[in-house]
Amino acid sequence: MPQLWRPGAIALAVSVTGASVAARVPPQLERVVAAARPAVVLVQVTRAGGTGHGSGFIYEPSGYILTNHHVIEGATGISVTLSDGRQLPARVVDFKRVEDDDLTLLVDAAVLKVEATGLPTLPLQASRPVQEAQDILVLGFPGQLATDRMSVTRGIVSAVRAGWIETDALIVPGNSGGPILDSSGRVIGLATFIIGYDRRFGGGMWIQNAAALAASARDPNGERSRVINVPGLEYFMPRDPDNRRYSDEHRKFWQVTASDGRSYDSTESVESAGEYYGARRYDAYTLFVTPQVHADYFVDSNGFYDLSTRVDNTWVRSSPTRVTEALLPLDVGKSWDIEERWSRESLNDLAQVAGARPRPSSMSVTGHATIDSVDETVAVPAGTYRRCVRITIRRNLITNQGDRESRTITTWYAPYVGKIKTVRVNGGERFTAELKSVDWRR
């Protein structure tokens, strides 16, 4: 899958020079911008791990707004700032996110609703055929500091792709969900991602790919999509094999074997802690006899994350608030660094007999993670799984007393099942956990 950088997924401090284009464009484009500006809105979100923003536009005067799904994915709160300065809470009416590996199909859209009437609009109407080299405009709110006024960038259609529009018009963080206009002012797409050398080329979703979603959202009884299908998500969002629905609650049973031949059983209980417009949060409790692990996981179209972890009800990760377990898309060789701080939650167990060396109360962890493979066949007691992904994480631990230890954890994930095997190496010790069975609770 092409390496996409979605500019609305995070908010970065980016300033855009020369945001006013009136002095550099033909008069008809000045009129297009002036007519469209009142309908373009700033979309601000709060989510686990921070805040972000994107753009959108009003397509119905009663407050229906179209934006990208990835702008609001994972949101716990959404607000929209109108061109007149009013800031209103917004709710998600519907969303649809469908991508394939080569982007011959791209749908990344969400419909929001604010409680207002008589709003200015950019109507959704059939656009004329798009030609390569024709002028286009991208409207939106790039950057973190430049959100007080809508910005405009101008470019051409660099290529007409099967699933998307390629353009050299500048698209930066915050532009996502903003309208792409042709020279007559018609909406032809949504600014969606950046691709290519030095992130120089922008990508836009064809507006016709969101037309049915936008039309149905206006009807209170209309059909709702609320689907997300992004390559790689199937490895981290388990599904019940009988009904193919995402599992809100299940238990995994493990067989754990130590390097000295000892073997014992383990149970992992997983419960959904909420669904956030396609993103999901899970609460997982694993009993390996020792250690006991309680973790809070989060999955969205960007990756699989550990939000918090407690080990043996004693050690707690104090920072950062989100650790990456996997990054999407799943490409062999992709890697990322790890830096963590851990502390003991309770100091009661630090009491020592006279003369004994005090136990460590904190530790620092640095490391590196790599996607080793994306197409392995793995046999475990639960069965044989194909198309498995293997990820290796290497950690170096240093306690506040200078003790050092190296750990390597290799994990295999299977489609729609999630984790099926883990090999953990601590110095000379090796523990292998293999999936025995899954209880898909109903």
Report which of 29, 419, 383, 76 is spatially closest to residue 237, judged by C-alpha positions.
Answer: 419
By three-state DSSP, how is residue 56 classified? strand
Separation between Cα atoms, residue 75 and residue 92, nearest integer Å: 10
In one-letter notation, the amino acid at residue 276 is Y
Distance from C-alpha of 98 to C-alpha of 106, rounded to nearest angstrom: 6
* Residues with Cβ within 8 Å of residue 228, at least 6 apart in sequence: 69, 73, 95, 96, 97, 98, 278, 301
383 vs 381: CA distance, rounded Å: 5
Token representation of residue 161:
């792709």
Which residues are catalytically annotated?
70, 108, 176
* Total residues belonging to the chain: 442
Match 């006279």 to its residue by tokens: 354
8 Å CB contact between 290 and 429: no
Burial of 285 per CB tally in 10 Å (0-12, 13-18, 19+): middle
Q: For residue 384, how many C-alpha atoms fall within 13 Å in the half-sphere facing its CB? A: 2
Pairing state between β 179-182 and 164-167? unpaired
CB 190 within 8 A of CB 179: yes
Residue written as tokens 């532009």? 175
How far is 331 from 373, CA to CA, in rounded Å?
8
Bridge partners, residue 154, by sequence? 137
**CA–CA gap between residue 254 and residue 242 (Å, rounded):** 21
Secondary structure class of 341 (helix, strand, coil): strand
State how far the Cα of 303 lies from the Cα of 15, in Å rounded to an integer. 27
Q: Is 269 helix (H, G, I), strand (E, B) or coil?
A: strand
Give the other-Cβ count within 10 Å of 24's Cβ.
10
What angle is formed at CA 186 by the lines to CA 148 and CA 94, rounded to 5 degrees? 70
